[in-house]
Amino acid sequence: AETFTILTENGETKIVIGYASIASNRVTIPVETTKNAEIEPISFNANMFASILNANKDCESAVLQVSSEGLAKISFKIDDFTSTYYLVAVSEVD
């Protein structure tokens, strides 16, 4: 899958790999949130996200923040360092 999508439904947030509006092969990962709002599905580049996760695999903690305007901010804490990445939403998935 080339994208992952953030879905909010019934007060729950999920990351869906391979999301499409029609029946498809997809993997759904429920996530814990500290703040939740109903937003339209937003998709991001999964390959870029995988590269970011791989580069920070030794992190102590990570936070993913998603704006309804199509911007994701990912912050990682490793020892005394914090690294922050931004992802811009890709065009709508079918």
0.75 exceeded by pTM: yes
Dist CA 4 CA 42 (whole Å): 8
Q: According to the model, what pLDDT value does residue 94 have? A: 55
The answer on pLDDT for 22 being more than 80 is no
Residues 38-93 have pLDDT tens digits of 889 999 999 999 999 999 999 989 999 999 899 999 999 998 999 999 999 997 65
Q: How confident is the model at residue 23 (pLDDT cuts 50, 70, 90)?
A: low
- Which three-class secondary structure state does DSSP give residue 22? coil
Sign of the torsion angle spanned by Cα atoms 87, 44, 79, 57: negative
Q: How confident is the model at residue 33 (pLDDT cuts 50, 70, 90)?
A: confident
